[in-house]
Structure 1
Amino acid sequence: MQTPFIHNDQLNFIKKQADFLLKTMRSVGDRKVLETVRETAVMNVIQAFEHLTPEQKSLLEQLSTYEATHDLENYLDELDAYVIPFPEVSLKQIQKLFPKAKKLKTPNLEMIDYTHTTYLRWTDIATNRLYIVYPYQDQMVGIEGQMTSMNKKGFCMFCNRHRELGFFNVKIKASGSPDNIASVGQYICIDHEECNHNIADTTALEKFIASVGK
């Protein structure tokens, strides 16, 4: 039985390195250049992890051993067995995270692909309220705010990919009087599934969570 040790964002990072490797294999014939790219890809992947056992490191180093596209794709599929899934949450847990939300619309938790989820997110279409649930600093936190479609493409703050964007605006308590309200906003993907499939580093996401005081 495999012990999961890869987070979804790390899996996405591995896939990005593999994609770069595939493109190089198709366009470059110089074996020395290819070897350098292989070594760099593996080094980048290893550095994305804080701690690895010898077995885990060996598994990740296999990235550089494949010559055929389908073999590399099969390898990436096999890594799913080592992914730490997003913590399953119940409807009661979600409701506790958003106590002020009246008639809270919740997602169909049975339809969530927990293996390929870095942050749980859904939108109440009737109100354009967007809700995010994320395990931050050893606890599950919830963020809600207004989501406005921008009808344009740009780089998502969370996944750093060029996608259709919306503006996510979160109201927070400002310093001074408790009645002072400020807001923090970011441009993020309209499509949450695409964002979860592309996010390869949680730094920007966690910085945003910290900025809204969660």
Structure 2
Amino acid sequence: MSTPFIRNHQYNVIKKQSEFLLRTLRTVADRSVLETVRYRAAMTVTEAFSSLTVDQRKMLERISTFETAPDFERHLTELEAFLEPYPPITQKQIEKLFPKNKKLKVPDLQSIDFRFMTYLGWVDVATSRLFIVYPYEGQFIGIEGRLMPTNKKGYCMFCNRHQELAFFSVKTKSAVPDNFSSVGQYVCVDSHACNQSITDTASLEKFILSVRK
């Protein structure tokens, strides 16, 4: 039985290194350069994990041995069995995270492949609000804020992808009673695409913890 140990953002690291290595194999003939790129790809992948068993490390380091696109595709498919999915969550749990929002529109959870999720995010188009639910230390954190399109491209704070951005502004309580301030960042308009690109959770967690209720 496969024991899950790969989180979504780590799987994205493997995907990106696979794509980079394949491009190099197709464009570079120098064997010494190729060997260096192979070594660095394997190192980048294993360094995305804080700890690995001997077997897990060997499995991930196989990326350095592949030659063709089908080899990489097969490897990524095999690794899906080891994906650690987003923790189970229900609509009622999500609603409890946003008690002040009586008309909360929760996405269809049955249609989501939670294996490829780092955070659950969705936009209520009618109110131009972005909702994010993130699992942290055994509990869920929910944040919401206004999403303002910029009609410009840039780098998303969460996934560092160069894409169309929106300004995500979240109200937070200030040190003065009954006063509020706001914290904002530029993020992807498309949370699904963001989840497919994120390779590190540090920036995401720092933002969420800074505005958590």
Normalised-by-shorter TM-score class? over 0.9
Counterpart check, 1:196 vs 2:190: no
What residue number does 1:141 align with?
141
Following superposition of structure 1 onto structure 2, how do residues 68-107 of structure 1 map, counting pairs within 5 Å?
Answer: 68-107=68-107
* 2: CA distance, partners of 1:80 / 1:35: 26
Amino acid at match of 1:76: L
What residue number does 2:17 align with?
17
Q: Secondary structure at the match of 2:76?
A: helix
TM superposition shift of 1:23: 1.4
* 2: CA distance, partners of 1:52 / 1:71: 23
Aligned residue pairs: how many?
Answer: 213
Per-residue CA shift, 1:137-180, capped at 9, x if unaligned?
321110011111111111111000101111110000011x2211
Q: Secondary structure at the match of 1:147?
A: strand
* 1: CA distance, partners of 2:77 / 2:192: 18
* 1: CA distance, partners of 2:51 / 2:202: 18
Q: Please tell me whether the aligned partners of residues 141 and 212 of structure 2 are also in contact (alpha carbons under 8 angstroms).
A: no
* 2: CA distance, partners of 1:111 / 1:121: 14
* 1: CA distance, partners of 2:100 / 2:212: 16
TM superposition shift of 1:209: 0.7
Q: Please tell me whether the aligned partners of residues 143 and 212 of structure 2 are also in contact (alpha carbons under 8 angstroms).
A: no
What residue number does 1:67 align with?
67
* 1: CA distance, partners of 2:139 / 2:90: 15
TM superposition shift of 1:124: 1.1
Give the TM-score, by structure 1 length.
0.97
* 2: CA distance, partners of 1:213 / 1:192: 19
- Runs of 4 or more consecutive aligned structure 1 residues displaced over 6 Å after TM superposition: none
What residue number does 2:27 align with?
27
* 2: CA distance, partners of 1:28 / 1:130: 43
* 2: CA distance, partners of 1:155 / 1:181: 28
TM superposition shift of 1:87: 1.1
Indicate the percent of aligned positions where both proteins have the same amino acid.
Answer: 58
Q: Which sections of structure 2, spanning at least 5 residues, go unmatched?
A: none
* 1: CA distance, partners of 2:186 / 2:210: 15
Q: Which sections of structure 1, spanning at least 5 residues, go unmatched?
A: none
Q: Secondary structure at the match of 2:147?
A: strand
* 2: CA distance, partners of 1:210 / 1:115: 23
* 2: CA distance, partners of 1:141 / 1:32: 48
What residue number does 2:131 align with?
131
